[in-house]
A = this chain, B = another copy of it.
Amino acid sequence: MYDMTIRLQLNSEKCLYEQIYEHIRHEIWEGRLLAGERLPSTRSLAEYLQVARSTVDYAYDQLQSEGYIEAKPYRGYFVCPIEELLQLESQSRDKSAPEHTGGCETQEAPAPRYDFSPHGIDMSGFPFSVWKRITKNILTAGNSELFSRGEPQGDGDLRLTISRYLHSSRGVNCSPEQIIVGAGNDYLLMLLEKILGRHVGIAMENPTYMRTWRIFNSFAYQVLTVPMDESGMAVNELEKTQARVAYVMPSHQFPMGTVMPIGRRTELLKWADGAEDRYLIEDDYDSEFRYRGKPIPSLQASDEHGKVIYIGTFSKAIAPAIRVSYMVLPRTLLEVYRRDCYFYSCTVSRIDQRVLNEFIRDGYFERHLNKMRKLYRAKHDLLLQELAPFEKSFAISGEHAGLHLLLTARGDCTESELIERAAGLGVKVYGMSQHCVEAVEGHATVLLGFGAMEESAIREGVGKLKEAWL
C-alpha cells in the first residue's frame, strides 16, 4: 500500500484536513497515486499522521464528494480513474463542498453547468418588496422598544402567530408558551441537548440528514442508526437499541422522500410511550411542499401523551438567510427548559421576529407558499416527465413532495460511475452514499434536486443525463 508521508504545517493558514485533502489530490494528479489504488484506512492514516481520525475522514469525504476517490463498502477507499478527473474538476468546491470555507484559502473552480442540488431553493419567488415594506414600517422611532432585550423563548406575538399557523397547516396542537424561537435548527438542537440532558441514546434512520447526524455526534450523545423500510424507521429494529430519543422526518424523509404511513406513526408513538423519558423529534423541514393528495398532518398532531418534540424552520419555505426556526416542546420538557435554560437569551433579533410575525399574520406567508408550491410543482412535474425515458434503466422514487427525486439504477453501475459520467457532461448529481451513515445494500442511487433550477436547465440537464446514462 502507498505510504503516505504528508508534511503537515500546524502554523499554516490551511486546516489540517485541507492539507491532507490537497496532498492526496495532488498525488493523484501527479500520478503518484494510480487509479484503483487503495488508500490507507482513515484510522491508520490518522495514527500515522498523528491527527484526529475525523480530520482524515473529512479529507476523504471531500475527495470522495469531488470524485477523486471512491468508497467500496467493507473494502476501503480507492483512487478513481485519472482520465475522468479532468472533467471532474468542474465539480470541486461547489455547493456540496463543506460549508466552512469562510477563512480557508482554496482555489475556486467553475461550478457545473447543471446542478441538481437537493438543497437548492428558488429565490426568484422571494417577496422582496413586501419584506422590505414591512421592515421599513417596523423601523420607525415609535418602535424603539424593538432594540431592547426580548423574551428568551421569542416574542409572544410571533409565538402566537406560529402556533396558529402550525395548528391550521400542520395540525400541531400547542399553545404559544410551548414554542421556542431560535436562530436555525442547529441552535435549537443545541438547546435541546441542554433540555434532554447528556448521554442520550438517539436513533436516526439510515440514510438520513447528515447535517443533523453531525450535530448529534458533536453532542455527548450516542447516535444509533436504525435501518429504514418503505414506511420509514423500522420500529422493531429501534426496539433493539438503547435509544431514548428517535429523530424522524415523517412527512418527507430526507433523502428517501418516504412519507410515513399512519400505522408506522402509531408504532413510533407506542415505542415512545414505552418509557417515561422516551421522546420523538419530528423534523418537519419541508412539509410545506406537497404536490399530490391532501397534506399529511404532523406526527405531533396524533401525539396524545406529550412525546413529540416538533421542529420546523422558515429557512426552506422563505429563504435560507431567514435564520428563524421553532421548536414545540411537550409540557414535561417545557418544565425542564424553564428550570434549566431560562437564562439563554433568544438568538433572533426582535426586528426579524416582528417582520416575520407580520409577514405571516397578514397572509403574505400563505400567499408566498401557494406561489412556491405552484412553482415547485411545475418543476417537479417537468422533471418527472423528462425522466420518463429513464424508467427502463432506473427506478424513480420520492415524487409528489419535497424538492428532489431519486433515481435508482436497475443495472450494476456504481454510484460514482453515474456521478462521474454526468459530471463529464457538466451535470452535477448527488450520490445517496453522501447521506448514509453506514453503506446501504442495493443498487446505485442518485438524488436529483430541482428547487433552484430553471425549467430550461431541467430540460437541458436531463438531456445531458440521457447522453451520460442511457
Residues of A in contact with B (beta carbons under 8 Å apart)? 10-11, 13, 15-17, 52, 54-55, 58, 98-104, 123, 126, 128-129, 131-132, 135-136, 139-141, 144, 146-154, 156, 159, 176-178, 183-184, 186-187, 190, 194, 198, 211, 214-215, 218, 220, 315, 319-323, 331-332, 334-335, 338-352
Contacts and interface: CB of A to CB of B under 8 A. Distances in A.
23 contacts: A17-B339, A99-B343, A100-B152, A100-B338, A100-B341, A102-B152, A102-B153, A102-B156, A102-B177, A103-B153, A103-B159, A103-B178, A126-B144, A128-B144, A146-B321, A147-B321, A148-B319, A183-B187, A183-B348, A183-B349, A322-B349, A351-B352, A352-B352
Given A198-B220, A344-B215, A147 B319 contact: yes
A17 B126 contact: no
A147 B132 CA distance: 12
A338 B104 contact: yes
B150 A338 contact: no
A187 B335 contact: no
Nearest to A346: B323
Contacts of A126: 144, 147
A148 B320 contact: yes
A350 B335 contact: no
Given A11-B331, A335-B15, A342-B99, A104 B323 contact: no
Contacts of A11: 331
A340 B54 contact: yes
Nearest to A324: B349
B347 A100 contact: no
Nearest to A140: B132
A159 B101 CA distance: 14
B54 A347 contact: no
Contact of A147 (B10, B54, B123, B159): B123
A104 B321 contact: no
A339 B52 contact: yes
Listed residue (A11, A149, A177, A320) with the most chain B CB atoms within 10 angstroms of its CB: A149
Listed residue (A101, A147, A151) with the most chain B CB atoms within 10 angstroms of its CB: A147
A15 B334 CA distance: 9
A349 B352 contact: yes
A199 to B, nearest CB: 9
A347 B187 contact: yes
A111 to B, nearest CB: 14
A218 B340 contact: yes
Nearest to A57: B339
A99 B345 contact: yes
Contacts of A139: 128, 131-132, 135-136
Nearest to A16: B335
A183 B342 CA distance: 17
Contact of A220 (B16, B154, B186, B220): B220
Contact of A177 (B104, B141, B147): B104
A347 B100 CA distance: 14
A204 to B, nearest CB: 15
Nearest to A120: B148
A208 to B, nearest CB: 14
Contacts of A152: 99-100, 102
A335 B13 CA distance: 10
Contacts of A194: 218
A104 B135 CA distance: 29
Listed residue (A102, A131, A141, A334) with the most chain B CB atoms within 10 angstroms of its CB: A102
A178 B102 CA distance: 10
A411 to B, nearest CB: 34
A334 B10 CA distance: 11
Contact of A136 (B55, B98, B136): B136
Nearest to A18: B338
